[in-house]
Amino acid sequence: MLSRIAESMFWIGRYVERAEDTARILDVQTQLLWEAAPAQEEETCRNLLSIMGVGVEDDEPVDTATVLAHLVHDINRPTSVAANLAAARESARRARETLSEPMWEALNSTHRVVASGQLARMPLASVFTWVRDRVALVNGAADATMTRDEGWQFLVLGRFIERADMTSRLVATASFRSTAGSPWTSILRACGGHEAFLRTYKGLETDRGAAEFLLLDRLFPRSVVFSMSRAEQCLDNLEGGQRAGFQNDAHRLVGRTRADLEYRALSEVTADLPAEMERLQRTCAEATEAIGRRYFAGSEGTYWMGGRVS
């Protein structure tokens, strides 16, 4: 496969996943921001922007509108939902001959809503629902109509590296949430996993159980371990299943991080949750750089939160 096609497929997976996960995080966080006391709004917004990889000056006023500009509507900011959907369509255009027609149509029609300004005119709650629905359509079209060749492997690899990164950012919000009761219920809902969690833990909600479910569950498709395992599988498929060791730095990074999470006691991981999640985000950034070096000759130098891919 041409390296430019492989690169485009990888970034389609990442851009689409980031748009959905950003919408999921904000759907929960904005509701909590509106309920928070005015004195807490700025601190909470700053923490949220920091976790999402957005830097703001200390003397810059920050409120809910600032968060929405950076993370939803401003197409010129690489962190926004609008920018990620536009970038996914541009990557799809470069790999048009590899995509199935239904997937291309889903991405293209989604981009038209962003480019025409319709997204900016939607009520905020409708924006988050629309983004989740459109991403489900894109991913469903890909799952149903694409052959499981190298292009598919790169698409899924990008999707699950991004999902591990974004789940870690969501889990990190548990460290600064100041709402009544446990913050984990809202985090589970943002992941779309609250019902699955209740079924798994027989209706018993505990902070420890929620952390274990989102970080370590091998069957929940948005857990960190599930996402890292799927990324490992894609890398193994791309390498043809080596008999001994790993020559791929990305495979080594992802596998080591996944094993470290699984074999350590949960209490050790949650003792300093923000630091652990930041370490996981660095791993995702370093793995992305390693993938670029190995597979994407003449890579474009794409900027990404957590690192620069070159």
- Joined tokens for residue 251: 């495979």
Please, what is the average pLDDT of the chain? 87
Cβ neighbour number for residue 128 with a 10 Å cutoff:
22
Residue 307: partners with Cβ closer than 8 Å, 6 or more residues away: 282, 285, 286, 288, 289
Report pLDDT digits (tens) over 250-290: 999 999 999 999 999 999 988 888 889 999 999 999 999 99
Residue 307 pLDDT: 45
Residue pLDDT, tens place only, 36-46: 667 778 888 88
d(CA 119, CA 210): 33
The DSSP line for 145-209 is H--SSHHHHHHHHHHHHHHHHHHHHHHHGGGT--SSS-SHHHHHHHTT-HHHHHHHTTT---HHH
pLDDT digits (tens, 9 = 90+) for 205-223: 888 899 999 999 999 999 9
The secondary structure of residue 71, as a DSSP letter, is I
Phi and psi angles of residue 202, each rounded to the nearest 5 degrees, phi first: 55, 35
Please give the average per-residue pLDDT across 119-126, as a whole number: 90
Give the residue carrying structure tokens 């509106």. 34
Residue 31: HSE in the Cβ half-sphere, 13 Å Cα cutoff: 12
Q: What share of the chain is helix, strand, coil (3-state, %, to 5)?
A: 70, 0, 25
> In sequence order, which ranges of 64-100 are alpha helices (DSSP H)?
64-68, 81-94
Q: Are 296 and 1 in contact (CB under 8 A)?
A: no
301 has pLDDT over 50? no
- Summarize pLDDT for 72-99 with one digit per residue, the tens: 998 988 999 999 999 999 999 999 989 9
Mapped onto helix, strand or coil, the DSSP state of residue 48 is helix
**189: pLDDT strictly greater than 90:** no
User: What is the spatial distance between Cα 21 and Cα 131, in angstroms, rounded to a whole number?
Assistant: 9
**Is the pLDDT assigned to residue 61 strictly greater than 50?**
yes
pLDDT band at 55 (very low <50, low <70, confident <90, very high): confident
What pLDDT is recorded for position 303?
47
When computed from its CA atoms, the radius of gyration of the chain, rounded to whole angstroms, is: 19
- For 163-178, what is the mean pLDDT? 80
Q: Which of 246, 264, 254 is nearest to 286 (CA)?
A: 254
Name the DSSP class of 55.
-
The tokens of 157 are what? 């690899």
What is the number of other CB atoms lying within 10 angstroms of the CB of residue 219? Answer: 10
pTM over 0.85: yes
Share of the chain above pLDDT 70, in %: 89
d(CA 3, CA 294): 10
Angstrom distance (rounded) from CA 294 to CA 308: 15
The reported pLDDT for the residue numbered 242 is 63
The pair of three-digit structure tokens given for residue 253, joined into one six-digit string: 């990074």
What is the pLDDT, as a whole number, of residue 36?
Answer: 67
